[in-house]
Amino acid sequence: MLSCAALLIVFAVGVSAQQPDDTIVFNTALVQLNVGVVDRQGRAITTLSRNDFKVYEDGVLRPIATFEPTESPFSLVMMLDMSGSTINFRQQIQQSALRFLDALAPDDRVAVVEFNGKGVKTLLGFSTDRRRTAYAITLATGAGSTPLYDALKFSLDELGREGKRRKAIVVLTDGVDTKQKDADRVIVQKALESEVSTAIKPEVNSQLISVLNDADRQGVAIFPLALPSGDPKRLPLSDSLMTAMYTAARTRLELLANRTGGQLHEVRRLDELAKIYPIIAAEMRSLYTIAYRPQNPGAHDGKWREIRIEVARAELVARTKPGYYAR
């Protein structure tokens, strides 16, 4: 619990305005939020009720339409990167994913999705049968390229069939989507040498924006586990172009987590995987889900709507996604 609480402090999300190019589309009657609450020591608070929360959009108090306590079950997609970059540590990946199942609540529905050079594939649809889910994890295999964003879109489509349940994606990946890496390479190759490190604008990315749009509509929290093979600080060769490309990929993983109320976990060593998965399960169990009706639900003016959460007890700190673009 102490380890989880410490991490909860780290992933508290600010509510400052986003950059204009971060044009996330939001088009729904209700805005759904995943909200984590900690005390000043970082301990998760899981016993609050609807009346303990106030939601503000652009500084205006909004009535809460629906409220789900922390013990409400999730529909969860477990995404496994089976591209060539993970081929040397498949056993650690699968054993760690199996531990994750033990940390989930009995009513959580889990689907297993793999992605690799052959595309995206469901190994098991949503189920509460942990034996079937465990067997599906052991079937994960593959090599080749990394269609990360295709897999995220696929998983969001699958979650769209799960109705009004609380939803999350846990994705184990190095974060280096092959198509996007190729596009980033074109950008840095055209840049002046002095501008290579800033040439790529990670947030100005149609694939990322499309995923965030879909996650916003459904209120899906995304928890990326970033493998060390995608860490820009650990590249085998000191190459400014490659460093810029890998830095952009890691930044996009951070955006996926921060904009959905999830959390990015950077895996420093492979033996940490077995510990991180249960921590994510604990983080999910500490989230409340709140939906409210925006002030002008029909005003698709493309402007940024800032979201702020207040908790009745002054010693508590709430975190959620910082806002959305009304389009």
Tell me what pLDDT residue 324 has: 80
Tell me what pLDDT residue 27 has: 42
Amino acid code (one letter) for 12: A
Confidence tier at 217 by pLDDT (50, 70, 90) = confident
What does the alpha-carbon distance between residue 7 and residue 189 come to, in Å, rounded to a whole number? 38
Residue 218 near residue 229 (C-beta atoms within 8 A) = no
DSSP summary character for residue 146: -
Tell me what pLDDT residue 148 has: 97
- Our CA angle for 258, 280, 125, nearest 5°, is 95
Asked whether residue 19 carries a pLDDT value surpassing 60, the answer given is no
Q: 246-267: per-residue pLDDT in tens?
A: 999 999 999 999 989 899 999 9
Per-residue pLDDT, averaged over 9-24, amounts to: 36
Asked whether residue 9 carries a pLDDT value surpassing 90, the answer given is no
What does the alpha-carbon distance between residue 169 and residue 152 come to, in Å, rounded to a whole number? 8
Tell me what pLDDT residue 272 has: 86
Least confident of 66-80, 178-192, 204-218, 290-304: 290-304
Predicted structure pTM score: 0.85
What does the alpha-carbon distance between residue 306 and residue 323 come to, in Å, rounded to a whole number? 4
Instruction: Report the helix count and the strand count for the chain, using DSSP H and E.
Output: 9, 15
Residue 247 contacts by C-beta under 8 Å, 6 or more apart in sequence? 197, 200, 232
Per-residue pLDDT, averaged over 29-36, amounts to: 88
Residue 63 contacts by C-beta under 8 Å, 6 or more apart in sequence? 292, 293
Reduce the DSSP state of residue 79 to 3 states and report it: strand
What does the alpha-carbon distance between residue 115 and residue 138 come to, in Å, rounded to a whole number? 14
Tell me what pLDDT residue 14 has: 35
Token readout for 227 is 């493998």
Tell me what pLDDT residue 201 has: 95
Tell me what pLDDT residue 306 has: 92
Q: 134-183: per-residue pLDDT in tens?
A: 999 999 999 999 999 999 999 999 999 999 899 999 999 999 999 999 99
What does the alpha-carbon distance between residue 304 and residue 24 come to, in Å, rounded to a whole number? 9
Stretch (H or E) spanning 206? helix 206-218
Tell me what pLDDT residue 164 has: 86
